[in-house]
Amino acid sequence: MQIQDLPYPEPGVPDARSGPRFLWWLFRNQLGGQLKSLAWGLLHFASVAALPFCVGVAVQAVVDRSGSRLALAGGLLALACVGNAVGDTFLHRTAVTNWITAAARVQQLLARKAAQLGSALTRRVAAGEVVSVSTGDVEKIGWFVEAWSRFTAALVTIVLVCVGLLVYQPALGVVVAVGLPVLALAVLPLLPRATRRADVQREKAGRATELASDTVAGLRVLRGIGGEELFLERYRHASQEVRHAAVRSARMWSLITAIQVLLPGLLLIAVVWYGVHLARQGRVTVGELVTVYSSVMVLTYPLRHFEEIAMAYSFSRPSAKRAARVLSLERATDTAGTRAADVPSGDLYDPETGLLATSGVLTAVVCGDPDAAGRLAERLGGHPSQEGTSVLLGGVPLDELPLDSARTTVLVQDKDPVLLSGTLRELLDVPASGAVEPPAALAAAQCDDVLAALAQGSLDAADPMDARITERGRSLSGGQRQRLALARSLITDPEVLVLDEPTSAVDSHTEARIAQGVRELRAGRTTVVFTSSPLLLDRADRVVFLHDGEVVATGAHRELVHTEPRYRAVVTRETDDEAALNGSVALKDVLQELEEIEEKA
């Protein structure tokens, strides 16, 4: 796989049982690139290691006044320099290719997992952690996968040089052969502490990233309640913790680097001292001493890769662990499905609460607990509860449908839907049945003023559909974003549409018109609306009231207001005392307000 061939046609099925298993899986899937990198690495390091032998032969040739051997040494030196240049060039090329392709494979796997899990991903993993895994962690994983082949080439080269020195000059070769493993293993006792400090740094950095992403996402709300300074101070504190952890980690790694510089120097001193002693005794020649001395000098270069692979593994191991954790998440609805992909139809039933949304009608659900309503909406979208209970559509469990079929069948619009940047035409270009055109959906969602605002704010778009929307629709008001999201959902025209508080940010008169528009446009289709708005409830064909996680009453809105005090308390926002003292007055006021709004709408 080359960079120009990315993305992968199929990134594969990762082994996400653990971080090390995931790294090993990545390595196996890049075996061809790893072997290329190993081959070029061996050429590069072998050429570098050959330079001292060439220099030693040249020095001895000068001492012996041998012109032929000096010419031979020059030729070998030139050949080693060419091998060094070619090997280094292509080693860098293959290493970067391995790094980028490994990172790209991980990014594709993460993107596929995000597409499979949908909104359930951020409910099971913090958004900041997802961002951290898909950015910094991906690079660290790619670094280790790429560094492994260079480390292997360096290790093989060091072994070959030690063997060569033992054959070339056994007395000095023994010193080098014993000293080099000590150099390579000397930093091992420090690695666990360095790894722990690096883990602490990454953990604190992840928390700071989560805090920053959550703050940015809720910036508009923070400004509204004056909470900017509080969260800014929290981020400052988190940022300082990251800085202190990074300094502690850097101190440990600098100590490891210092040891990697100090110990080769001590070995070099020992080789020179012992070599001079042997030369005085006539046991080694000057050329042999120069060769061994130069070899020790040159071997400090491949020895650096021992430190690099240790750093790469210590940084990539927790990154791979986090990536494996995300990739191991499974959607309760099997992607392949155990049933045929035929879209089922019929009543939507939740066994856990007893909610029944009759096919082809508009059902409103009133729940006093917003969190419970959110969990129920999630289950209606095909995500079973923690107990494994799945919602049934026409008697078919949604988690037994293929993922594409389940998403085509049931669409859930969250309480806070996301608008991506782009033109309005691109925003509304979603998979749809084709039965609902954008103009009809925009009209039902009462988006006339939104279109006018987009046209007025765009200088180069004559058609409002070509006007650009900023990221998350930040240039629009909350009500405008909500209505555009509703129009987008209406265009898809699914078999079942679940709306969670779709009009919480609009005024009552617009809400009444939206209720009527949705009712008319979704006629004959199953629609479930989670709301406590009397205007939407009054337009519903059937109202279901949940209390303590169970259905306790069903019927028409006006009927439930009269007969169910708990329902009336949720809809009219009454306290218990107000319900006891002023129940009839509150009820009369609600009904009167409904009639006035209906007349104006």
Task: Walk me through the domains of the chain, giving residue ranges and CATH numbers.
Answer: 3-327 (1.20.1560.10), 348-600 (3.40.50.300)
Q: In this prediction, what percent of the chain has a pLDDT beyond 90?
A: 19
- Residue 213: the pLDDT is 65
Say how many C-beta atoms besides its own lie within 10 A of residue 152's C-beta: 17
* Parallel/antiparallel/unpaired status of strands 496-500 and 526-530: parallel
Residue 121 tokens, joined? 């991903």
- Residue 591: the pLDDT is 54
Find the mean pLDDT for residues 495-501. 92
Say if CB 597 and CB 535 are below 8 A apart: yes
- Residue 554: the pLDDT is 93
DSSP 8-state code for residue 349:
E
> Rounded to an integer, what distance in angstroms lies between the CA atom of residue 59 and that of residue 41?
28
- Residue 235: the pLDDT is 79
Specify the higher pLDDT residue, 344 or 492: 492
Find the mean pLDDT for residues 300-311. 80
Assign 453 a pLDDT band (cuts: 50, 70, 90): confident
Q: Which of 304, 73, 288 is nearest to 183 (CA)?
A: 304
Find the mean pLDDT for residues 308-332. 82
Indicate whether 2 pLDDT > 60.
yes
Residue 233 tokens, joined? 């101070």
Say if CB 125 and CB 326 are below 8 A apart: yes
Say if CB 143 and CB 312 are below 8 A apart: yes
Specify the higher pLDDT residue, 405 or 515: 515
Q: What is the average pLDDT score of the chain?
A: 82
Find the mean pLDDT for residues 3-9. 82
DSSP 8-state code for residue 4:
G
Assign 300 a pLDDT band (cuts: 50, 70, 90): confident
Indicate whether 427 pLDDT > 50.
yes
Find the mean pLDDT for residues 364-369. 89
- Residue 585: the pLDDT is 46
Assign 555 a pLDDT band (cuts: 50, 70, 90): very high
- Residue 49: the pLDDT is 82
Indicate whether 119 pLDDT > 70.
no
Residue 82 tokens, joined? 């060419």
> Rounded to an integer, what distance in angstroms lies between the CA atom of residue 492 and that of residue 440?
12
Indicate whether 379 pLDDT > 70.
yes
> Rounded to an integer, what distance in angstroms lies between the CA atom of residue 265 and that of residue 214?
50
Phi then psi for residue 550, to 5 deg, are -135, 150
Assign 581 a pLDDT band (cuts: 50, 70, 90): very low
- Residue 339: the pLDDT is 55
- Residue 60: the pLDDT is 81
Find the mean pLDDT for residues 496-519. 90
Assign 583 a pLDDT band (cuts: 50, 70, 90): very low
- Residue 386: the pLDDT is 62
Indicate whether 385 pLDDT > 70.
no
Indicate whether 340 pLDDT > 60.
no
Find the mean pLDDT for residues 389-407. 80
- Residue 332: the pLDDT is 54
Lowest-confidence segment of 43-57, 89-103, 324-338, 354-368 by average pLDDT? 324-338
Half-sphere exposure of 111 (CA within 13 A, CB side): 12
Indicate whether 517 pLDDT > 50.
yes
- Residue 320: the pLDDT is 87
Handedness of CA 287, 289, 291, 297 (dihedral sign): negative
